[in-house]
Structure 1
């Protein structure tokens, strides 16, 4: 269940006033501004240079560089005590610098006196990270008052007074911490008589029992004008400045919230938080990640944001130092303000954007390889009302020849909004219902949220309450908030014991009525609390080991997601890949499961903003993501819905979804021509599943996302740095949506130096410039990159499962030297046998008139084997020379001298397409074999 819609009885009980779907529902006054949060208000306007810490007692122990950070004078800044002080009696700060393989630096600052009271986020970093640690042996003290640690291709320079950290790659400065002197660490201390630590917002009071404990600092990205990341916000891909001359904006907020009908072009935080930012310029990229799950506010500072001179790193070049040619260095300064926790930061030195993402994912994990079915189309609605409705929707897809793989049930399928139950009247035979879907190779998803109905007759609640498994309020009692069931409590998922207990609830014996084809949806896990401050849990609520909710808030949904995934893993005996969708997320979510962009709206603006939102998630490691096709709120007209299907077919996660109060909008509801148009959009996704699945494999190994900004593949092309209306799906497909009603053309920028081919017509377009592309309702502009080979499956089936043995079509798009290459990854699509060698990984190359297939799999891959009898039934070659299009041209399968029938025709059998492709029919070579085919 999404959104923030209550019955009137609940409204009366909780005292909320919530507008209906038909009224503009964004109420910014219901959410805090920076100046309404004590930690942000007190910190945002700190003066540059106000941090006056210096480094003392530098030494290396156990391969780690350690030092104390102390105030330079008795009343110095950098450690504050509610506006002043911070002397030695509170204990110094402890700095640690670590390095890891492949360009990763870790900077950590915590309290010497109270380290156990500062929360450090568990279960986010990969388990083997410390195995990749580089053991530091020595540092060099320099005459300019700094020390340097040389790490091969990059260096860490620690300036002693004032404290600053600078990271260089080669001779190139890429990132600095505290070069603007904004580092501030509020130490824990005893409350003084007369002090009031409470923080009030509207009718809510946060007791703040441990007082101010803000951590704030500046990070400067050198040699760049663009930074990206820190989702989730409904705004542009390149982050706009929030502070500076003539700029009056809120900072980018990272605080997971259930935002009812969110607006676009806003720095306001939504359902998830990933404190990872990366910069990119034509010659370098860098990244910064803060491992902290408390609320944070981040300013991107405009040029000339401060008129006072910046603090320079003597001898190494500060942020305002003139370059040798007299030009001022390009730089983006950012200011990070975090409510609590520690400073535990990672710096990634690149140099390419793919390198940065891979380095980040080496720390937090890569996207888990999903089941093949989950990469296909999903059909959802709040709510399919009963088993007859489910059967009718399922039959509708078959009747209209539209494939789909997963049908979803929202909260109304339960018995009184009690999770792991079924409404006995509406869903009396859930196993039989699922069996009918399974017979067609389809699956089902049901919703399971973190709020548990407080009902003594509900065994789940009774057991959780008796075991003390709920989050406590500030008084130590089970926290009682309001959500869909009414009075609800929330499981303390920070506790590993409770996560394990929860996982057992997904067993087939415990979740009565479930079957192995049933998968899970975690919604409302920010957590959403209808009568809580800002619609979430109070910050002074208490978790496992006395941790305050303020410390763990942004990771709560991640832990809930983690526990649900563990449940499906246990149910499948550890060898069935789970599918669990989550709305809330944090750093590391990618290794658990997919997310989506939440409760969007059926308008053209939200269609447009879905692209930068998904791109940003991909840049921060979360590759399996998408937006609700059609918009969750509101009623799309048939043109908007069609355009959304055409774009959504290229999201990594492809799901249609709608609010309870909207009109039905299954893809056949509007009739012709829209049914045909949406059918073709869905079929286009199914034909690309081999390519999409191969990209998921790449993401699972490297972290590089499926959905990529243009500059990820063309990093030197400055024209791409602010483009976010188009994107690349993998390296080979460029997609540009249609974002306005009645559009007849779109201006598309095609990067690179090689031409691009229209995927439907085969028509070519030049690279390195903007082109005006005519559009009709038949589709959106999609192009295949010259020099690429894409494997497709063109047969039309009911589901991806039924495509398992279908033959392949290889689409070869030749570049200017008449060459091309591509890859294909195949496994069983459902188990973890691929980890033991049960997979096929092929490389296709076309050169000098010959197409070859060779294996990319290691000679010895493991104890298991995967085989397939699938054949290649068609090879389509785009961009061949005129002489190769001559009638009667032959091709030969070289290992058996077998001649293949050739023809010229449309590339994908599209009517009206340009006949520019050479088609090799029925080569009938096995997709898993080594072979070569030569044009003669």
Structure 2
């Protein structure tokens, strides 16, 4: 049986994605019932409503379905956030809600609502807040319709097409449609013992042509239509976007099919305003998108452009958050204020990771590690997949292949490196396996529909699946990561959660049956999309607990849901060594960032298949700018470590990886910003240039922070790349120093060694340019400041520094410097908030190099001034023209100030002028 299963898995992997293995809307009865429901057919009406404790509470009735009573809550939060909740008042069965997706202190952000009846129409109530946002909800009673307006401008409308539908748990009766009480897909039967329970609604974004979000799909960032508007012919034109976490082999590009994670967030953007909606629901979901063209200048709502969406979920409640913006970054802050933000990762985690399935044994690990040093390619983390375990039992080691795991990890630690091992949610059903025996005895497994521990198949063979919904399980699981319980682990070992969609090889759609049972009696259909998040949470808690909550942890997850960003990184799953997957990784990572998951990336080189040297190089050149930078490959692929293709490929890959290490101070500063604001590290251009319509659907280039513009090479044999420069200032090629004015397109010549990267005029970026083995060994290295002048000769930037590993920054142990350049004077000043905690962070790091872009070639003199222990210091600094970067292709077109050697933590200034004047 196990051999047959393994052959089946290998067959599926070898043959890639097969659409018939997975459901679409037509094969899901709840989607069919709702997708083609006639418009204007909503029967849900508001009977009464009052404000109670600052919250609007309404009594709602479904007038057709036996007069079932529902309750409506409208809650408001600081900064322009409304929450609309609709659920049954007295349900036959309690529906699952995933509150752990939200931040724990959300209630502290509430603001009071005032309900004002309309003087002109008794069927309308206005809900106001006093938070200064100018937002108001207009609630129509019959049928229920909720519009969001700001300063009399209508932005969103819920149920204006009359598609709100709330199926209620009921006793089985004659006349129920096929699929309501039992449904078969392929050879699997879903028992549906509680009957139909779908929830659906329409949501219109007014004054917009572009919507983003709904990760995870391998599509462009600006979501495409799935249905035409009635005016343009009507009818379905493709599958709706599906949100259902699945283990998908070699997924297809430009497909609305759901992948490994699900976040029901949609952002609407126009040059005038950005708004968003988030549905807190963990069940399977389909979303239709229709774009209605119009005239932006029209004052009539019906004549303005709009995006009409239809949301359909198998079960759950309606729990809808509306975010009023008004700018893109405001929406991101508002959403991550509700679901949480990415904590500041340890420094090593944002460096380069080397992985494959699998490094064979300890000798293989040592050989790979040594070859990185031989070829002077830095890396920080080496990964071990499932083959390192004893018979695929997690938290164990194969003693014949890895007899001395602690010695191995200590050897890695001696070079400042770390390791990661894999831990998945399927547990081998082995009577002698302690983990399995404990989970069985404590009742910590998901049950089948008859109440027995579910027995499915995954890598170990016969497996049971931990019930991540069980709060006692999560604490028990966290304890398994202690050094005492995880025998052979050390503090430098971190964790990878894979297969946590969850993946079940012999289950329906390679997952758990929908009628499987979780803690609290909830069916798997209700919790499916949150399952992986709960597993991720438990593993992250385990590493924090292991370190006494003093050390930061790194846990990577494949499956995710809203809120996953609070506990670690994610990646885009099992991609392929194809040029289209290289290109699609950009909008996928950008969309994850907009949806809160700022720490994300794609497998460099492609997980499946064998990239040729050019594709691998181009993927390294792109991957060096992902927030999460990891190379990974399938067990059956050819080895592809960076040196195996020989020259010139090895040197060019080395340069790509070194570029990431040079930029680590900039990335670390950006991650600190992300932890405070939620604004992602890797950004679509419209996030920074919201009024420039030319960038609204641009996926071939992106920003790192606001100061680096990257245009990767995405086609084989490319000799030049077309680059659009946003804004109205200048952008400098970081290698050639050539400047390009914003608002224009330029064709940039590229070679295999080069990828177009530009620094924004008006910015100052900190770097560390010395080549080291790992980021840990760079800790005391000096800094380079790259000053890119704008058209008026000014620039500014920030540097954040702490110990890179602990939580001491929470107590004030960090340095934050602000650099400014104006009137030919570069200054460094303290940018830490006044009154921060007393703990200090000290560093001996110096600024050893300043590169200035935008000064004409001439003879310059630079004079440094700073305070010292015995008075004021004033001295000359060597100023010469030289290369801006210590990489291949850099040209001598920048003014370089050599060896100012000023402490990075001190106040100082450098004045620059013509040598004949200063």
Find the partner of 2:71 among 73, 83, 94: 94
1:509 matched to 2:480? The reply is no
**CA 1:57–1:11: 2 relative to 1, 3 Å:** farther
Q: Which residue of 1 aligns with 2:211?
A: 227
Pairwise CA distance, 1:910: 4.6
SS at 1:553 equivalent? helix
Find the partner of 2:20 among 26, 29, 35: 29
Is the CA contact 2:754–2:889 (under 8 Å) kept in the aligned structure 1?
no
1:242 matched to 2:197? The reply is no
Counterparts in 2 of 1:125-136, with a 5 A limit? 125-136=102-113
Find the partner of 2:143 among 138, 162, 166: 162
**Structure 1 residues 862-871 or 371-380, which shifts more?**
862-871
Pairwise CA distance, 1:247: 5.5
SS at 1:179 equivalent? coil
Is the CA contact 2:643–2:650 (under 8 Å) kept in the aligned structure 1?
yes
Q: Which residue of 1 aligns with 2:124?
A: 146
Distance 2:616 2:627 in 1: 18
SS at 1:212 equivalent? coil
Pairwise CA distance, 1:303: 2.7
1:287 matched to 2:276? The reply is yes
Counterparts in 2 of 1:167-186, with a 5 A limit? 167-186=148-167
Counterparts in 2 of 1:704-723, with a 5 A limit? 704-723=679-698
Pairwise CA distance, 1:852: 1.0
Distance 1:14 1:876 in 2: 57
Pairwise CA distance, 1:179: 1.1
Distance 1:214 1:47 in 2: 16
Q: Which residue of 1 aligns with 2:817?
A: 842
**Structure 1 residues 717-726 or 903-912, which shifts more?**
903-912
**CA 1:918–1:248: 2 relative to 1, 3 Å:** same
SS at 2:880 equivalent? strand
Pairwise CA distance, 1:320: 11
Is the CA contact 2:358–2:387 (under 8 Å) kept in the aligned structure 1?
yes
Distance 2:214 2:464 in 1: 30
Pairwise CA distance, 1:137: 3.9
1:425 matched to 2:397? The reply is no
**Structure 1 residues 823-832 or 925-934, which shifts more?**
925-934
**CA 1:208–1:247: 2 relative to 1, 3 Å:** closer
Distance 2:564 2:278 in 1: 14
Find the partner of 1:323 among 270, 292, 298: 298
Q: Can you list the C-alpha shifts for 1:265-319, whole angstroms capped at 9, x where unaligned?
A: 1000000000011010001000100111000000011338xxxxxxxxxxxxxx9
For normalisation by structure 2, the TM-score amounts to 0.96
Distance 1:518 1:777 in 2: 36
Is the CA contact 2:274–2:325 (under 8 Å) kept in the aligned structure 1?
yes
Q: Which residue of 2 aligns with 1:818?
A: 793
1:10 matched to 2:2? The reply is yes
Is the CA contact 2:221–2:587 (under 8 Å) kept in the aligned structure 1?
yes
SS at 1:19 equivalent? helix
Distance 1:283 1:464 in 2: 54
Is the CA contact 1:893–1:900 (under 8 Å) kept in the aligned structure 2?
no
Distance 2:357 2:658 in 1: 25
**Over aligned residues, Cα RMSD in angstroms?**
1.7
SS at 1:629 equivalent? coil
Q: Which residue of 2 aligns with 1:83?
A: none
Q: Which residue of 1 aligns with 2:915?
A: none
SS at 1:897 equivalent? strand
Q: Which residue of 2 aligns with 1:50?
A: 41
Pairwise CA distance, 1:13: 5.3
SS at 1:890 equivalent? strand
Counterparts in 2 of 1:531-680, with a 5 A limit? 531-680=506-655
SS at 1:374 equivalent? helix
**CA 1:14–1:786: 2 relative to 1, 3 Å:** closer
Is the CA contact 1:793–1:807 (under 8 Å) kept in the aligned structure 2?
yes
**CA 1:622–1:402: 2 relative to 1, 3 Å:** same
Q: Can you list the C-alpha shifts for 1:447-473, whole angstroms capped at 9, x where unaligned?
A: 000000000010100111111110000
**CA 1:321–1:787: 2 relative to 1, 3 Å:** closer
**CA 1:507–1:690: 2 relative to 1, 3 Å:** same
SS at 1:825 equivalent? strand
1:38 matched to 2:10? The reply is no
Find the partner of 1:62 among 23, 29, 53: 53
Pairwise CA distance, 1:864: 1.6
**Structure 1 residues 727-736 or 188-197, which shifts more?**
188-197
Distance 1:354 1:859 in 2: 25
Q: Which residue of 2 aligns with 1:791?
A: 766
Q: Which residue of 2 aligns with 1:854?
A: 829
Pairwise CA distance, 1:49: 0.6
Is the CA contact 1:14–1:531 (under 8 Å) kept in the aligned structure 2?
no
Counterparts in 2 of 1:286-365, with a 5 A limit? 286-303=275-292, 323-324=298-299, 328-365=303-340
**CA 1:912–1:675: 2 relative to 1, 3 Å:** closer
Is the CA contact 2:291–2:306 (under 8 Å) kept in the aligned structure 1?
no
Pairwise CA distance, 1:116: 5.8
Find the partner of 2:189 among 198, 202, 205: 205
Pairwise CA distance, 1:705: 0.2
Q: Which residue of 2 aligns with 1:103?
A: 80
Distance 2:613 2:863 in 1: 46
Distance 1:115 1:694 in 2: 51
Pairwise CA distance, 1:679: 0.2
Distance 2:301 2:30 in 1: 40
Distance 2:343 2:259 in 1: 24
Is the CA contact 2:753–2:888 (under 8 Å) kept in the aligned structure 1?
no
**CA 1:650–1:912: 2 relative to 1, 3 Å:** closer
For normalisation by structure 1, the TM-score amounts to 0.94
Q: Which residue of 2 aligns with 1:308?
A: none
Pairwise CA distance, 1:487: 0.3
SS at 2:799 equivalent? strand
Q: Can you list the C-alpha shifts for 1:816-836, whole angstroms capped at 9, x where unaligned?
A: 010001111111111111111
**Structure 1 residues 166-175 or 720-729, which shifts more?**
166-175
**CA 1:918–1:40: 2 relative to 1, 3 Å:** same
Q: Can you list the C-alpha shifts for 1:197-247, whole angstroms capped at 9, x where unaligned?
A: 101100001011110000000111111100000100000000000112476
Find the partner of 1:923 among 886, 900, 904: 900
Q: Which residue of 1 aligns with 2:734?
A: 759
Distance 1:403 1:471 in 2: 43
SS at 1:921 equivalent? strand
Is the CA contact 1:761–1:910 (under 8 Å) kept in the aligned structure 2?
no
